[in-house]
Structure 1
């Protein structure tokens, strides 16, 4: 009964709690809370959301995942990789930060949660085995670079207009280095120095929190943020006002076209359902219009992005209540602020106002059309998040000795995302950094995660006004320091030494993920496809060779080791693969090649120790070869067959066809018998 209850409510295993356990969880929870507050705000911006949604994602999902998870030290919440993947998946359908974008982010969290829950309930976590180690490393390295470098614009204080080609966007940032806001750069460098040297001098010191507090204090003291909203009539620069109006027009076009595309997708889906999958004139017309709108939307986005960079480079100065063009002007374009109005900035970007209070309960908005379009990205995010959470859990369990149930972890992560989506949370997963902090500070049960969520709750209720002046560059540095630590080259170097094709696939995954960014899902899907193809090719053409004696007495391939054949009278062939429909043709080729190379041979011996299984196609092919070779006076013999393969031989008529005397228990017995037979034939032949 106790076991049944613990399966339904895993948190029951926390009890009874000792005073020492409570104290350890309290210290770990407070420490993790000091990390997650600034980290979650940084990751929310990475996801294209207002920073408060990072705090929302650090509240309810943390509690639910800790209650129903398997690892006591795993901390769930916003993570860098899924934050970027969430933004990349949704940018084609809405503008980052908009109400529509927020709705879709929450819907995507619900989808990821449902997928993870189903994977856990049906114990399908084995799907992650399709992600080989080199593919994971290649993808993680590329994603870390993409995530980290995507924050470079915030460190420079320049715009980073996003398109469907990340490398081009990054180049646009690099070309703006001369336009950098140097106070922003200095604050970013200062925050990095506090975090870097703080960790070096005292690993337990909350260096991230210290950097946030110091940077916020300095920002408030020096008036780091200097914004003003004015009418375009107050800007005495026709070039600037013309570009601003064009920018507003392009932005309106993007919004209208995005909304129309959403309506068209719904219309296409409805037409296909009504026509039951058959072509229809309504569906064809809608698809043609969608194709045209896609092209128009791409042009509108490109125009808006180009204008963003041009406007930011166009500096202004204030003279007698008006703003005029100036080469060394203090004021730059920040954003449009309504009809005929523009916000100018002479300082750096800060977090700004954060809504106070806890998230309210709201049923996520479900867009059925986009749900199907987002499903591939949601599945990849579910698997990547599961892979992260599982690897963290196993690494911690190796130190604590705790037994980890990956299916329960999937259930906990799934429930965390599902319930969290009803309280304004976007997609979450297990965090490397925060789980490591929890383990290092002595967390004993999942109670520590609940205590960290209480810390976030206190911030939302009472402390958000104090975060107004937090520079966004500091949040960017937090993201960059977190993700650049994930980059690992040694595993790919090791894979190159051990299994070069796998290493090549890892490198291709790395390059493809970079090139296809920001659509990270396609990068790892390509890696999975290449891994499966490589496996199929290897399965179709397993190692198979004619063998002979090496100088040390063992057997080796005559070509690989440059050996002389054992005999002209018999040919030993090693086949290291299961005999199934996928490789029987290759098996036939190997046997016929041996027959061709040694035309005088009376016996071809298949050393079957590497044959682990055999299906009906394999059995049929062996039967055909036995009959074919017998007509030519050649015997096909076998040795070292495993019990499951021998059973297939016996259930069919192979034993009778081959002859029980030609099926040997092991290779040495077979070779001795063939040598003796050869000797007897030699003695019997006329001198």
Structure 2
């Protein structure tokens, strides 16, 4: 019974935090929920517009997903809902199937959420969270930076009041250039004004308020509420000046009421078409979400369970699809606000969902005259924080190979779209990984005088024995690098006519696959024919267990030593290495490699 209870607790993390829930925690969660709700209403409307969906769909996607994540997620402060990158990916995927504003477009977005949710849940149940590791940090950073630029560019048409579509940066730029003559100055005034105010609020307002004597907490709250103030002010201006009659695009009528619950009509062809985009959205969303969740959890010495996070995010996406929403994930900005506002448990998300539901039921008529330019400004200010030029420079300075993957992701995303960008980044990362590991770093090592440590002869002054070749391989051995190992050892052996022993130091070898095992057998055979003994040292337990199941150890001409020092001492014990007699102390006068042999290669 205890085992069953543990399994239930594992799949329903709320059973953990709900047991200690008290009034103090309730107050903290309610305060956080109020702040996040204020922030989330304009964001939800804006991100739905970015996804090419009616604004109310953004509100729908911010209700049940929060409840579902509270039931199954392991982060205490992660806030789930529509985010910029996933909204862009949704528009890119669904836009290839149906036209914006049609029922088919909405149905495709709903199916995308359901597919993404199902994939995430299955990945969690089968513990496949490691798949996200195929997206390296430079690729993710490059993709998010490129997406931020692409999103900001795509919203300029709303700031300028023109009709200029496009899925790539060149398409957007050319469309804006062609539409330049049709710019609506009233829209520009609203959009530019909202943009300037929101940017000022994000960067300067809090410090200004504190300088004027406002306490830190109220100043922070007023800063977070800036988007709501922008919404209210631009609505009042639009009504007072009749901007709708002057060509300014308004949000229009938003249906009142909660979303319909149920499955849309789904065709197998639609599922097949959306399967690949849904998988990419799942992986990108999971990586973004789990990064935020881990960062926030570490600040409170809490922990998250990545595989259970897959289930929590999957449940949130399924809930979104069942309630006329579109794909969601954990958002950085709203999660940080939730954390800073004092949220203690996922119940804060449930209270936020209640606040969004209240807005959907009673406040949507007030948003009819909201200029779309205001929502566009909200998106631009939010996504420009995703553009991390500093990270690009750091990666360039640190690793040219990683920079190439990052740069390829950025360029392909900007020039060809979000899905090709992700695929290109992942593909190039895997190719670079295979290339690097196919030529592992291998060092000839010698004994550091006065110690039992062995180091690279090209970097340190060490003692060597001309009859012994000690090689350290700094990579696991598998099919891609097994031939390189053979060739490198053959090359080193050919350079040493007095060689009697080859010692392969395996301290960095975590696995040896079947191809590498065959290469080791071939190396052993060739060395035997040349009168050279082959030895292994510092073989890890799991690797040794697998070697014992093969015939390799039975045919090994040498010995498997516990340490490199033990092998070196054993093989040099009875010989005068440099033509000198052993000293009275019994120590050996070993040949020393001069300091001049050091390099930085």
Using the size of structure 1 for normalisation, the TM-score is 0.76
1:14 paired residue number: 18
Larger CA Rg, structure 1 vs 2 = 1
1:204 aligns with 2:221: yes
Match of residue 172 from structure 2: 169
Q: Does 1:667 align with 2:567?
A: no
Equivalent position to 2:239, from 209, 220, 224: 220
In structure 2, what is the equivalent of residue 530 of structure 1? 428
Deviations 1:150-202 (A, max 9, x none): 1011111111123x644223232145445422221221222233323334233
Matches within 5 A, 1:16-415: 16-162=20-166, 165-177=168-180, 179-199=182-202, 200-201=205-206, 202-205=219-222, 206-226=225-245, 346-415=246-315
- Which residue number in structure 1 is paired with residue 360 of structure 2? 460
Change beyond 3 A, Cα 1:615–1:382: closer
Q: 1:438 to 1:663 in 2, by over 3 A?
A: closer
The question of whether the paired residues in 1 share the 8 Å contact of 2:125 and 2:311 is answered with yes
User: What is the alpha-carbon distance in structure 1 between the residues aligned to residue 551 and residue 118 of structure 2?
Assistant: 50
Aligned-partner Cα distance in 2 for 1:435–1:680: 66
Unaligned runs of 5+ in 2: 207-218, 582-601
Please say which of residues 575-584 and 672-681 is displaced more in the overlay. 672-681
Q: Superposition pairs for residues 445-524 of structure 1, below 5 Å?
A: 445-517=345-417, 520-524=418-422
**CA displacement at 1:376 relative to structure 2:** 0.6
Three-state SS of the structure 2 residue aligned to 1:577 is coil
Distance across 1 between alignment mates of 2:566 and 2:459: 23
Shift of 1:146: 0.8
Relative to structure 1, the CA distance from residue 223 to residue 552 in structure 2 (aligned partners, 3 Å threshold; closer, same or farther) is farther
Matched residue SS, 2:62:
coil
Q: Aligned to 2:243, what secondary structure does the other structure show?
A: coil
Task: Map Cα deviations across residues 404-438 of structure 1 (whole Å, 9 max, x no partner).
Answer: 12222222221222233222111111121111111
CA–CA distance in 2 between the matches of 1:389 and 1:410?
10
Structure 1 CA distance, aligned partners of 2:445 and 2:423?
39
Per the alignment, residue 309 of structure 1 pairs with none
Q: Deviations over 1:369-392 (max 9, x none)?
A: 121121110001011111122112
Q: Distance in 1 between matches of 2:373 and 2:233?
A: 13
* TM superposition shift of 1:496: 3.4
Q: Is 1:582–2:455 an aligned residue pair? A: no
Secondary structure of the structure 2 residue equivalent to 1:225 = helix
Kept in 2: contact 1:619–1:648 (CA 8 A): no
Structure 1 pair 194/14, CA: closer, same or farther in 2 (3 Å)? Answer: farther
Whole-angstrom distance in 1 between the partners of 2:477 and 2:363: 67
8 A contact 1:548–1:564 mirrored in 2: yes
What's 2:511 paired with? Answer: 613
Q: Could you give the per-residue CA deviations for residues 599-645 of structure 1, whole angstroms, max 9, x where no partner exists? A: 33233332232223334443333233223222222222333333344
Aligned counterparts of 1:621 and 1:59: Cα–Cα separation in 2: 58
Distance 1:647 1:19, change over 3 A: closer
Q: 2:520 aligns with which of 614, 622, 643?
A: 622
Change in CA separation of 1:66 and 1:668 when aligned onto 2, cut-off 3 Å? same
Give the drift of 1:84: 0.9
Aligned to 2:336: 436
Please list every run of 5 or more consecutive structure 1 residues that lacks an aligned counterpart in the other structure: 227-345
Q: 1:169 to 1:487 in 2, by over 3 A?
A: closer
Deviates more, 1:138-147 or 1:440-449: 440-449
Structure 1: distance between partners of 2:20 and 2:252: 44
Cα distance in 1 for partners of 2:10, 2:469 equals 58
State which drifts further: 36-45 or 112-121: 112-121
Cα distance in structure 2, aligned partners of 1:155 and 1:16: 49
Displacement of 1:36 in angstroms is 1.1
For residues 381 and 249 of structure 2, the distance between their equivalents in structure 1, rounded to whole angstroms, comes to 20
Change (3 A) 1:78 1:557: same
SS at match of 1:204: helix
Mapped to 1, the partners of 2:343 and 2:580 lie a distance apart of 80
Residues 639-678 of structure 1: pairs in structure 2 closer than 5 A? 639-648=537-546, 650-652=548-550, 654-655=552-553, 657-659=555-557, 662-675=559-572
Q: Return closer, same or farther for 1:179/1:491 CA change in 2, 3 Å cut-off.
A: same
* Cα distance change of structure 1 residues 564 and 140 upon mapping to structure 2, 3 Å threshold: same
Q: Is the 8 A contact 1:68 1:411 kept in 2?
A: yes
Tell me whether 650-659 or 569-578 shows the greater mean CA deviation: 650-659
Q: What TM-score does the superposition give when structure 2 sets the normalisation length?
A: 0.86
Task: Provide the alpha-carbon RMSD of the alignment.
Answer: 2.7
Q: Give the drift of 1:76.
A: 1.4
| SS of alignment partner, residue 546 of structure 1 | strand
- What is the match of residue 588 of structure 2? none
3-state SS of the aligned residue for 2:248? coil
Count of aligned pairs: 560
CA shift at 1:41, angstroms?
0.7
